[in-house]
């Protein structure tokens, strides 16, 4: 699809994240009242869609949906409502719109707003769908001959996380305390994590629920997806190393999960769908895909030391995911587990085959043995004051579909986690 020209001139830049083709969904506040409203990014502005709906400039069957500070109610309305919103907004914002004069008053400069979590996170599940990441981590801990777990090529592996730890881009992330045990220590110690890390992931937001006790097919799972966010699943590697056997990650992954503030709707990425990679072993029939399920998104990671300049430390692509989100959701429901509106699904770390395409410091620094250069020094793991930023976009013909920044700064651990003010 070519670039859709908008009367919002900043939406027509080839290097902008938010052309008319995108229309991602977020929640913002402006001014001193702190009133949170649903908005859509267009160029370097936010369009107040709560205001448009209240004034009758949006007509959504069964509404109002946008008179609240989250997108869950609208997501629950279903795919027909999703398509209707995009069609109406496209007509209102397109060059030549006869209603430009009515819409202009609902635009707010992005530079003047505060962005919030765009939806109420019902549940959070993190998968392990990146083959290169699984190979790298497995090689470090088990050797190359046993790098992939025996089940990895057969099922999407995941674990249930904490919805309460999901935060929006810009939220500081405090270094966690935890129980750790070094190989040369007889007993564990309780201390701040010294091997704090990021994970470059894509997140999937579910806009439709499933029924408890009834699995969904891959095709049904695809129809449940509302959109996507960038996702950083912060990880305390030293805490994880001590706790993960036999039940997998727990506190190591519970500090924070940062997501980008804009949900890029599935329809905006329809032209960028690609097949999943060739299968090394055949998957069971229930995981068969009816069509291309992966996305072609350029991803990168920037690390900015406090007071320093940003260094891009990784560049990769979401085409490296071995399992699509629809396959992950399908498998999630096979036990009868019900999915809810507002569920967040993490892809797992997305790493490419080359060193510069690895999606975590654990891999980039190979377990701390190979420091990587950043402005003013090197890193093996994150230091206090570091800001970690994820970027992602799809490249169209003269435009791109972007997510905005997904950023968080590491702040020092509490001096005493048990003290109270």
Run of H or E including 91: helix 79-93
Neighbours of 92 (CB within 10 A): 22
Q: Are strands 406-411 and 387-395 parallel, antiparallel or unpaired?
A: antiparallel
On the question of pLDDT at 189 being above 90, the answer is yes
CA separation, residue 390 to residues 33, 188, 301 (Å): 30, 33, 5
Q: What share of the chain has pLDDT > 90, as a percent?
A: 94
pLDDT bracket for residue 314 (50, 70, 90)? very high
Domains held by the chain: number: 2
Pair (192, 320) in one structural domain:
yes
CATH number of the domain that 14 lies in? 2.30.30.230
* Residue 146 confidence (pLDDT): 87
pLDDT bracket for residue 182 (50, 70, 90)? confident
pLDDT tens column, 346-363: 999 999 999 999 999 999
- The arithmetic mean of pLDDT across residues 36-54, rounded, is 98
Angle at 248 between CA 241 and CA 176, to 5 degrees: 55
* Residue 244 confidence (pLDDT): 87
Pair (202, 164) in one structural domain:
yes
149 located within any domain = yes
On the question of pLDDT at 233 being above 80, the answer is yes
**198, 288 in Cβ contact below 8 A?**
no
* Residue 411 confidence (pLDDT): 98
416 located within any domain = no
Q: Which of 95, 70, 84 is nearest to 19 (CA)?
A: 95
Neighbours of 334 (CB within 10 A): 13
pLDDT bracket for residue 82 (50, 70, 90)? very high
* Residue 293 confidence (pLDDT): 96
**What phi and psi values does residue 414 have, to the nearest 5 degrees?**
-60, 140
Pair (69, 132) in one structural domain:
no
Neighbours of 63 (CB within 10 A): 15
pLDDT bracket for residue 223 (50, 70, 90)? very high
Pair (398, 290) in one structural domain:
yes
**302, 312 in Cβ contact below 8 A?**
yes
Pair (133, 247) in one structural domain:
yes
Residue from 45, 106, 116, 133 carrying the catalytic annotation: 133
- The arithmetic mean of pLDDT across residues 200-216, rounded, is 98
314 located within any domain = yes
Stretch among 133-142, 309-318, 397-406 having the lowest mean pLDDT = 133-142
Stretch among 27-36, 128-137, 187-196 having the lowest mean pLDDT = 27-36
212 catalytic, yes or no?
Answer: no
**319, 294 in Cβ contact below 8 A?**
yes
Pair (63, 132) in one structural domain:
no
* Residue 383 confidence (pLDDT): 98
* Residue 247 confidence (pLDDT): 86
Region of 264 on the Ramachandran plot (φ > 0 left; ψ -120 to 50 alpha; else beta): beta
Neighbours of 184 (CB within 10 A): 5
E strands in 101-170: 107-109, 113-116, 124-127, 158-160, 166-168
Pair (153, 110) in one structural domain:
no
Q: What share of the chain has pLDDT > 70, as a percent?
A: 100
pLDDT tens column, 242-269: 998 888 889 999 999 999 999 999 999 9
DSSP-derived 3-state class of residue 421: coil
Could you tell me which residues come within 8 angstroms of residue 361 by beta carbon, excluding any fewer than 6 positions away?
Answer: 197, 198, 372, 379, 380, 381, 382
Pair (149, 289) in one structural domain:
yes
Pair (146, 23) in one structural domain:
no
Longest Cα–Cα distance in the chain: 74
pTM of the model: 0.97
**166, 383 in Cβ contact below 8 A?**
no
Could you tell me which residues come within 8 angstroms of residue 416 by beta carbon, excluding any fewer than 6 positions away?
Answer: none
DSSP-derived 3-state class of residue 168: strand
pLDDT bracket for residue 236 (50, 70, 90)? very high
* Residue 31 confidence (pLDDT): 82
Pair (172, 84) in one structural domain:
no
On the question of pLDDT at 343 being above 90, the answer is yes
On the question of pLDDT at 310 being above 90, the answer is yes
* Residue 284 confidence (pLDDT): 98
On the question of pLDDT at 286 being above 90, the answer is yes
- The arithmetic mean of pLDDT across residues 103-116, rounded, is 97
What domain range includes position 82? 9-116
**320, 327 in Cβ contact below 8 A?**
no
pLDDT tens column, 14-44: 999 999 999 999 999 998 778 999 999 999 9
Burial (0-12, 13-18, 19+ Cβ within 10 Å), 4? middle
* Residue 420 confidence (pLDDT): 86
Pair (66, 171) in one structural domain:
no
Task: Enumerate the H helices of 108-149 as residue ranges.
Answer: 131-142
On the question of pLDDT at 152 being above 90, the answer is yes
On the question of pLDDT at 407 being above 80, the answer is yes
* Residue 263 confidence (pLDDT): 99
Q: Which residue has the tokens 């950023």?
A: 407
CATH number of the domain that 256 lies in? 3.90.850.10
Pair (233, 361) in one structural domain:
yes
User: Mean pLDDT of all residues in the chain?
Assistant: 96
83 located within any domain = yes
d(Cα 310, Cα 268) in Å, to the nearest integer? 29
Stretch among 41-50, 129-138, 240-249 having the lowest mean pLDDT = 240-249
4 located within any domain = no
* Residue 245 confidence (pLDDT): 85
């Amino acid at each position: 699809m070519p670039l859709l020209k908008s009367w919002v001139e900043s939406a027509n830049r080839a290097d902008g994240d938010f052309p008319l083709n995108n229309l991602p969904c977020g929640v913002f506040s402006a001014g001193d009242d702190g009133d949170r409203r649903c908005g859509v990014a267009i160029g370097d502005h936010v369009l107040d869609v709560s205001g448009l709906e209240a004034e009758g400039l949006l007509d959504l069957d069964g509404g109002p949906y946008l008179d609240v500070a989250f997108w869950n109610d609208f997501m629950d309305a279903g795919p027909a409502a999703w398509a209707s919103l995009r069609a109406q907004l496209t007509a209102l914002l397109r060059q030549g719109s006869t209603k430009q004069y009515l819409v202009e008053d609902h635009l707010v400069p992005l530079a003047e707003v505060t962005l919030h979590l765009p939806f109420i996170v019902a549940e959070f599940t993190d998968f392990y769908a990146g083959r290169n990441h699984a190979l790298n981590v497995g090689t470090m801990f088990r050797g190359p001959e046993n790098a992939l777990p025996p089940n990895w090529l057969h099922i999407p592996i995941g674990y249930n996380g904490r919805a309460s730890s999901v935060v929006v881009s810009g939220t500081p992330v405090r270094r966690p305390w935890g129980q750790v045990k070094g190989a040369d220590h007889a007993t564990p110690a309780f201390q701040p994590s010294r091997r704090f890390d990021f994970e470059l992931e894509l997140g999937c937001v579910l806009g439709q629920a499933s029924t408890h006790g009834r699995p969904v097919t891959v095709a049904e799972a695809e129809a449940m997806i509302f959109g996507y966010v960038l996702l950083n699943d912060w990880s305390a590697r030293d805490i994880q190393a001590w706790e993960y056997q036999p039940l997998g990650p727990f506190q190591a992954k519970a500090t924070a999960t940062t997501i980008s503030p804009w949900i890029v709707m599935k329809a905006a990425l329809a032209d960028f769908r690609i097949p999943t990679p060739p299968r090394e072993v055949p998957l069971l029939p229930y995981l068969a895909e009816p069509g291309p399920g992966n996305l072609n998104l350029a991803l990168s990671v920037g690390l900015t030391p406090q007071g320093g300049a940003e260094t891009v430390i990784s560049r990769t692509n979401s085409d490296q995911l071995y399992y699509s989100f629809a396959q992950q959701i399908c498998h999630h429901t096979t036990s009868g587990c019900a999915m809810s509106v507002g569920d967040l699904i993490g892809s797992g770390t997305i790493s490419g085959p080359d060193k510069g395409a690895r999606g975590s410091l654990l891999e980039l620094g190979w377990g701390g043995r190979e420091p990587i250069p950043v402005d003013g020094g090197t890193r093996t793991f994150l230091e206090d004051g570091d800001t970690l930023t994820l970027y992602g976009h799809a490249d169209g013909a003269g435009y791109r579909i972007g997510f905005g920044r997904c950023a968080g700064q590491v702040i020092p651990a509490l001096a005493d986690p048990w003290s109270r003010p």
